[in-house]
């Protein structure tokens, strides 16, 4: 599968960004002290990861049309004099990978991720998905997806703290310090790379269907603002499931579902006007679906990635094993969870 040039570039980019952000996370107290800002470590990791991914995509993809990235950050927020310590920390982080990078190189790479999602094909990137998990020293993800014709064609998901060993709880950081790396291509399956190394031979992952009578294992966000907890509890109660999900940050939840450690991931609307962002779901949803899960919104509609940077046609997310997904959607519809 790594013979696909776009996928090979994406794997290199995400694996490199994973290593870089893990290093920043391990030094987060030092970074915070240097910049006088307790949130600065995730800011540094976010911008540095975006710069590294953009640089690698530009280096490895010869056609300029393959350089289009819908990203979350812009360098304008770093350019002011008041942000000099953070900007310098971002540049130094990038230089641990590319020593010759100048400040202008780094700022330009960050700003290169400014596509508006109107092209036929483009990338979408969340350089650090799960900012609070990052700051706690727990789960976060680097998520890179390639969208063509409004459909996610490939996705790479780096989870620098997610244990690859299924015997380990997914909520806690990997004791081995390797993390996990996943890739998926539309119609070609989902794959896990040993030691989170793209040079290793990947192992195909698949998750079985859920059958009535089995326990329902769910995973959900740590942050209350990411999903409606009361609705989640009621939804699980309606299908007879235990309302005590494993809580972890980021699209790592899609990986946990894909590899069979959970049967469902619920992200229910917190308010009527909230619209999900494509970078929060593109890579992870493809990994999950190619492993055999079903991913839709709360009405059972497929996620529509053809409307620019936001999932304007969808409300929330229900991702689950076959056999369970249908029951969750039915309960969601009966509860009227989708905004009118």
Catalytic residues: 46, 131
d(CA 202, CA 188): 13
Structural tokens at position 15 = 């694996």
Q: Are 54 and 109 in contact (CB under 8 A)?
A: yes
CA–CA dist 53, 11 (Å, integer): 10
Looking at the DSSP bridge assignments, the partners of residue 124 are: 70, 145
CA distance 286 to 290: 6
Contacts of 317 (CB under 8 A, 6+ apart): 265, 266, 267, 276, 281, 285, 295, 296, 297, 298, 303
CA 7 to chain centre: 16
Residue 318, H or E segment:
strand 317-320
């Amino acid at each position: 599968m790594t013979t696909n040039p776009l996928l090979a570039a994406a794997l290199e980019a995400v694996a490199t960004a994973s290593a870089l952000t893990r290093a920043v996370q391990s030094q987060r107290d030092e970074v915070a002290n240097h910049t006088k800002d307790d949130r600065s470590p995730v800011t540094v990791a976010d911008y540095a990861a975006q710069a590294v991914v953009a640089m690698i995509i530009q280096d490895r993809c010869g056609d300029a049309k393959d350089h289009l990235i819908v990203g979350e950050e812009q360098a304008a927020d770093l350019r002011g004099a008041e942000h000099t310590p953070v900007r310098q920390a971002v540049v130094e982080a990038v230089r641990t990978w590319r020593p010759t990078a100048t400040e202008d190189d780094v700022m330009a790479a960050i700003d290169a991720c400014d596509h508006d999602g109107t092209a036929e094909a483009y990338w979408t990137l969340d350089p650090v998905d799960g900012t609070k998990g990052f700051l706690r020293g727990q789960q976060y993800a680097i998520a890179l997806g390639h969208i063509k014709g409004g459909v996610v064609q490939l996705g790479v998901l780096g989870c620098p703290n997610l244990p690859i060993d299924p015997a380990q709880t997914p909520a806690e950081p990997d004791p081995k310090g390797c993390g996990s790396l996943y890739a998926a291509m539309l119609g070609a399956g989902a794959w896990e790379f040993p030691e989170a190394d793209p040079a290793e031979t990947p192992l195909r992952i698949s998750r079985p269907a859920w059958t009535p009578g089995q326990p329902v294992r769910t995973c959900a966000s740590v942050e209350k603002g990411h999903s409606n907890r009361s609705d989640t509890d009621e939804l699980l109660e309606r299908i007879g499931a235990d309302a005590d999900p494993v809580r972890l940050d980021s699209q790592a939840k899609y990986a946990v579902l894909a590899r069979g450690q959970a049967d469902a991931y619920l992200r229910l609307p917190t308010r009527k006007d909230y619209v999900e962002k494509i970078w929060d779901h593109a890579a992870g949803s493809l990994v999950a679906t190619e492993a055999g899960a079903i991913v839709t919104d709360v009405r059972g509609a497929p996620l529509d990635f053809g409307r620019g940077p936001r999932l304007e046609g969808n409300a929330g997310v229900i991702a689950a094993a076959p056999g369970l997904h249908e029951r969750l959607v039915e309960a969601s519809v009966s509860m009227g969870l989708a905004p009118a």
